[in-house]
Amino acid sequence: MPIFHECQRCTACCRWPGQVRLTDAEIARLAAFRGVSEHDFIQQFTRLASDRRGLALLDQPNGECIFLEGENCAVQPVKPQQCRDFPNLWRYPDAEKFCRAVPREVGEEEYVRLVTAATGRTPEEITALLTQKS
């Protein structure tokens, strides 16, 4: 049975060191949401990814995501796919040490419905990923 991890919105993953890679489409959406040009968004909110292939979101000086405001994501409606996919479609090996998402065994149909809603991906994508895993 697949396991769905229900996010508790504790924001620990937004404080975890790492990098959030951005696609061109995500940069365009984020810039529009912030009401700035893509050029200004890139200057203000991104850095070169560690492998120098593409851009990633800047961190705050304390290592938190640049868009974490208190307990909230300031770009929640347009947050990058990498953020949306965690913790169901990718996880750190020891993620349970900090992630408070509640694991729940569910049927395949419900898993596809829940992960589709959580990630914004299509049911077809989730079904394909599920098939790859089994």
Interacting residue ranges for ligand SF4, rule: CB under 6 A: 7-13, 86-87, 99-101
Residue nearer to ligand SF4 on the CB measure, 53 or 90: 90
Is the preceding omega at residue 87 within 30 degrees of 0, hence cis?
yes
Nearest approach in angstroms of CB 35 to ligand SF4 is 26
Q: How far apart are CA 16 and CA 60, in angstroms?
A: 11
Classify residue 7 as exposed, middle or buried by CB count within 10 Å of its CB (0-12, 13-18, 19+).
middle
Instruction: Using the minimum distance from each CB to ligand SF4, give the nearer residue, 51 or 94.
Output: 94
**What are the two backbone dihedrals, phi and then psi, of residue 27, each rounded to the nearest 5 degrees?**
-60, -45
Question: Closer CB to ligand SF4, residue 105 or residue 124?
Answer: 105
**At closest approach, how far in Å is the CB of 81 from ligand SF4?**
14
